[in-house]
Structures are given as structure tokens and as C-alpha cells.
Amino acid sequence: MKPKFDPALPIYTQIMEWFKRLILSGKLSPGEKVPPVRELALQLGVNPNTLQRAMSELEREGLLYTERTAGRFVTEDSALIASLREELIRQVVGGFLEEVRALGYEPAEAERLIKKYGGETE
Amino acid sequence: MSEVLLEIKNVTKRYGKQVALQNVSFDVAPGRIVGLLGPNGSGKTTLIKIINNLLADYEGEVYLCGHAPGVETKKLVSYLPDKMALPTWLAVTEALNLYANFFADFDRARAENLLHSLKVPPGKKIGELSKGMQEKLMLTLTMARRAKLYVLDEPIAGVDPAARDLIISTIIDNFADGSSLLISTHIISDVEAVFDDVIFLKEGAVDLQGEAEALRSQHGKSIDQLFREVYRC
């Protein structure tokens, strides 16, 4: 579960992206407790301040919240999670279609291509 | 009280005619991990020796929590030298005794845990340990102190790449809350994610300094790539 970061980009944004996906994909459940900053920093091999920054940003975006004594938790706002998940898949599909188009296929052919090759992954 | 843990102001150091450090200035704030980067001979060890009161004859000012380097600051700084500084006939447990006697902030239980997790055999003499094991022992002794500032001179140079992750996580896991780390290294790629701030020393002068994340977004490059550019021959 250790992601590989691109050191040419700010690391905190990549941690945010990684963590966001854990929440949106349901690998972290709504209301689940998040491990302490130092523990996560250790696991990822990154600076604890960098990790803290990523967590604070995710709090600002409403995906995490802190309870003073108990620690940090994933939001229980499942409507927020659902809408962000929808937004993410929209971007993923958009990116895919862009590549399809770049290779000279019509977007309308995408469905046929998915049916033909979709079984090959996983 | 002060927001600065370590203050380096216009420090210049000459060895005869040769200039080892040239007007070097930077601050280290509490809770930061600072990378002091540069190839061999760029002045990293000279600066670290000044911070640790091992070189006195310099121009400029150095303050640790407001004190110039001296007897008082030895209590604040935990220092990992670039060479084995203990006698080789000493056994590992004796080295722990020595540190426990010498430093009031030495946490023996922590040191023993660390030795165990780094698999350093406690019964052996230092001279019987491999170079990598000796470095792990020195790192243990350094990180088991509850210091204000940890100064690590090339902590990963002598260990194989596979052990670097372990060394790095040991460092992250063990520095005291609110304390800072100054880590010198010429190997960047494995450790750059650990730095808050970086200082590039080139021929004794500061060539580039800043927050690691800010430098990444400003240049669209990793610290390692920037390092290679600054030191390209």
C-alpha cells in the first residue's frame, strides 16, 4: 500500500491524491480512524510535516475531520464522497477518451473497444 | 522563546589561503528536517564541525537556541560524525554505558530497542562490526538522545541502498518532538522526500536554498535533478 511518488512534483499533493483515492474507492470507510501522522509518514518514507500538510488540506476539503482528543477520521458525509467519486471517474473517462481520439478513433467506438479488450485487464 | 533553533550568520572559514566556507547564512526553525547538500569538499563537514564546537577559528556568528557553540550547546545537539568516533575495542553495550554517563538526555531503553530493530549485536566489540553495522550503532547512539538539534553527517553514505529505507525511517521515527534535524548528504534521490528545507553548498558558498516542496513546484524538478544541475561539471 506504499505509493511511489514523483519527486519532480510537490509530494504533499501526491499524498492528497493517494489518500483521496483510498477514501473514494471505499478502501477507507466513512468515519474510519486515520493512522497518526508520524506512523503514516514512516510508512511512506516522507517528512512528517509534508504528511501533516496533506492531511490539513484534506480537512479543508472536508474529506477528513479532527476530533481534538480522539484523532483524525474520514468524513461521514457519504454524499460528498459520492460526488467526488463521480467527479474523479468523469476525469478518468475524459482522459481515456482523449487518448482514444489521439489514436484516431472516434469516441463512439470506445464502447466497442472496451467490450473487445476490457476483459484483458485485471 | 525564539523561532530559530540554529542560526548561521555570515560564516566564513579559511584553512590558510583556502576558503572552506564563504559567507554562509541560514536558519533552522524548530520541527524541521533540513538537508545540507553538496559533493565531497563543498564545506558540509566544516560547517558541521563549527556547529559542534570542533572548529573555533571562524568569522561570523553561530547560535544554538541563542548560545554560541560551547560546553552549553553540547547538551542541546546530538551529533553523528562522518567517521567512527569511538574506540574500536569498546563493546556495543559499553558504548551505550558511555553515552548514558555522558549525556543526561540519553534514553537507554530507546537505544536498546533501536539496536534490536537494526540487528546490531550488543555483545560484539565495535572493531568486529562491519562498517554498515558501525554506522547503525552510531545512528542509534545519536537518535536515542532527546536533543534539540540532531546533526547527522552523511548518515547513509556507508550503508547499502537496501538499508537506506531502514535508516531513514529510524531517523523519522526517533527525533524528539519539536526538535530539528540537519542532515548532510551527497546522495539525494533516496532521501529527498524527508527534507523540509534544503541548502546546496557549492565550493563553500550557499548556491541555492529553500523549502523542498516550493523548489519542486517552482522548477518542476526533483531536488535530485536540481542537485545534478547545480553541480554539473
pLDDT averaged over every residue in chain B: 92
Q: What is the CATH number of the domain that holds B34?
A: 3.40.50.300
Q: Which domain holds residue B173?
A: 6-230
Q: In the predicted model, is pLDDT for residue A5 greater than 60?
A: yes
The pLDDT value recorded for residue A69 is 87
Which residues fall within 8 angstroms of residue B127, CB to CB, at 6 or more apart?
A: B88, B89
Q: In the predicted model, is pLDDT for residue A119 greater than 60?
A: yes
Whether B216 and A5 lie within 8 Å, measured CB to CB? no
Q: In chain B, how many domains are there?
A: 1
The pLDDT value recorded for residue B1 is 44
Examine the domain organization and report whether A62 and A24 are in the same domain: yes
pLDDT digits (tens, 9 = 90+) for A36-79: 999 999 889 899 999 999 999 999 999 999 998 899 999 999 99
Whether A47 and B33 lie within 8 Å, measured CB to CB? yes
Examine the domain organization and report whether A53 and A70 are in the same domain: yes
Q: Strand B33-37 to strand B180-185: parallel, antiparallel, or no bridges (unpaired)?
A: parallel
ipTM tops 0.85: no
List of chain B residues with pLDDT < 50? 1
Rounded CA separation B179/B33 (Å)? 9
Q: Which of B194, B216, B220 sits opposite A47 (nearest CB)?
A: B194
Whether A7 and B223 lie within 8 Å, measured CB to CB? yes
Q: In chain A, how many domains are there?
A: 2
Q: In the predicted model, is pLDDT for residue A108 greater than 90?
A: no
Q: Which domain holds residue A106?
A: 78-120
In chain A, which residues have their Cβ closer than 8 Å to the Cβ of B164?
A: none
Angle CA A37–A39–A44, to nearest 5: 95
| Smallest CA–CA distance from A47 into chain B, residue | B194
Torsion angle, alpha carbons of B161, B158, A6, B183, to 10: 150
Assess if residue B10 is contained within a domain: yes
pLDDT digits (tens, 9 = 90+) for A90-104: 999 999 999 999 999
| Smallest CA–CA distance from B34 into chain A, residue | A47
Assess if residue A70 is contained within a domain: yes
